[in-house]
Structure 1
Amino acid sequence: MPPSRAHIRELVTAYLGRHPGERPNLGPLLEALATPGEVTARSTLPGHITCSAAVIDHEGRVLHVRHNASGGKWLLPGGHVEPADATLMAAAVRKVHEETGIPPQALCQSAAFCHEPADIDVHPLDANPAKGEPAHQHYDFRFVFHLVPPSGETTVQAEEISGTDWRPLDQVTSLTTRNKLLSADVSAGPEPVNASVIIHDNAGRYLLHLRDQREGIWEPGVFALLGGGRAPGDASLEATLLRELAEEVPGVKLSGLEPYAVEETTSVDGLTVPVQVFTALWQGHPDSAGLREGILLHWSTPDMLDRSPQSPGLGDLIRRHAAQRLPAVPRLVQHHRLPAGGTPAGTELHVVGVHLYLQDADGRVLLGLRHPDSAYAGRLWHTLAGHCEREDAVSSLIRETEEEAGLILDREVIDLVHLVHSQDSPTASPRIQLFFRARSWSGVPQVREPERCVEWRWFSPKDLPDNTVPYTRQAIDAILAGQPYSEMGWA
């Protein structure tokens, strides 16, 4: 079935809510939606809906294609809606794949526009006698996507496209789309656009939501976490979650709401969807929740999860959370000198730490928030880091980066930018802290070791959080100043 009229009206209503002055220009589209017929069908005249996509890479450039049928004009990827397209966004995603070879999973929604079109452009089309088409109009819905990997190779659909080009925002060929992109914040790149919450009762039970079994529902007919997608007006992902809960379960009043992890899933349109997962406490009865969407709410224990249909990854996520809430076993941490093992007399063996100094296109540096129960730096922000095992430092960095954040590094683009020589106390082993810069990488930061790190976030290196690990702050300041070496704790 093609996109429903209700779906299209919802998008148009949201768009006009942001751009009320464009109502006169969208008059033909509004008239088409008020008359019988399939407004997305190519045969519908005097006009029909088409869909395009502004795909933005990590450098803030927008993908254009040289369109054969338009006389070689550079346009956004896009075209007509097909009957199999469930949504208008799905049509835009499909056209990107068909015309450029970029697969849906390489794209994610923009937090600035989410599932809504950034622009709706009404423009005339000349008659095409070869296809038996008279002059008509296109009502082009233009969606915004971010490229998930750092770069994307393109393979053009030769029958329609003769080339591709990545252009800066101020060189987008469509004036209306260019103005809307320039006035929005699309610089953040791939980031969570959905929020969900692990609700527990502090007694080993978890609140699950059985979703509707209906066509078009994301993950229909399975148990999942409560939550939903970000809307352009949401101030934060926490605001997104609270709005969704107020709409779905107004009787659930949470306490202790805090970020837990970022997970990835796939939308009904085939896009990669980073989801910010929160945790919170609630001890009420499901019947008091006032459920408005879905089928039911149900308390479940981790051992019961596999008996019910569930969204992908839900069981692992809850079991991981449950394991972290087990009572900690006290242990004695003892600092001591490592055995000399045949080293020259007077030699003090050092612990070698590797650290990833990673900057995005805006110059922001990646930091992780250490778990409150972490053996080191609990509740502090720190670079991605680890200790060298029996391996060279660069190999250690590559391994730790993939294990902790799911990012892939190539040793050819890794540079040593700073060394901190430190000691925590006179009885602790001294440390050599190596900071490496990676000029490029693959992937989106993910929380892979939640018992150590609960969140990854980008910060301006000149405005770091107050609770940043001291030697990390010192190293970043030194890197900005071009200093290759510093010391800490030797006074």
Structure 2
Amino acid sequence: MSAFAPGSARLTCRALVVDREGRALHVPDAAGGPAVVPGARAGEGDRTLLAAAVRAVTGRTRLAPGDLCLTPSLLGAPVLVEATGPADYEFTFALYLAREPTEPLPGADWLPLDRLESAALRERLSAAGLDGRPKPDMLHRLRLSPGTRELILRHAAGPAVRTPLVPRPAKAPDAGGTELNIVGVHLYAEDGDGRVLLGLRHPDSAFAGSTWHFLAGHCERESAVACLVREAHEEAGLVIDPADVELAHVVHVLHGPSARPRLQLVFRAHRWQGTPSLREPDKCLDWRWWDADGLPEPLVPYARAAIDGIRTGRAYSEMGWCPA
């Protein structure tokens, strides 16, 4: 099967900036509609999806990167990830003001969080307990990357310290223009006992031989959900109705400085027909249901990260982007 054409994956990144009064920043809609949370397409110079969200704010307001900081509860993870079309995905990140603006932001409006149009976003924000006030004392409770630790400490130090929220990276060798991402789709299925379906990849597999992994594949010229439905039938004989599928977790993976980034979409299937069977024995040697507290070894690392994220209610993870 051919690899997914990554240029057709459109990633919109929004920055929901929360002030001390628990209000969210909105800016005029370019199409003339109601005010919206600032957003931009991920593109050249955006090392992460969070960087694109920050660029969306600074490009539409007088705020600078140093005026923003991460939230203690969410850090660099999005508060919501939604599929908005066959190859369209929207990531919403929550940020705090590191300091109150000295002057009103022209054209900007601040709306209470409970007035946000998206019910899913209101629910996620309520669960995160955002109050607009970073809490540096959480540092000792978290395993933070150096960059994340610097961001929280920067806020604690006060307005005299102004460093970029997300640094621009050096381009990969021979990179030209927007960095294209490979998109993979993965099936997250649980049986009646809450066990997760995983397959043991063939030793000769080009990726992760003799390793347990989700049922997975890359898109041909089709939507991500259509790809998942097709792969489930081709690989394991499962019949899935697209209406019974929802996006459960996203892992943005970088396997090395010269590797192409990969956006791994993990879809939960609520129902299906059939019993997992070995339809492609040259790719998979065994299908088995595993208790989430006793996952097999070796297991593809980003699959483990996705399972952990789904169990804890997190929508997004990153791997390989930041130094340990």
What TM-score comes out, normalization by structure 1 length?
Answer: 0.30
Bigger radius of gyration: 1
Task: Name the structure, 1 or 2, with higher relative contact order (CA <8 Å, separation 6+).
Answer: 2
What TM-score comes out, normalization by structure 2 length?
Answer: 0.45
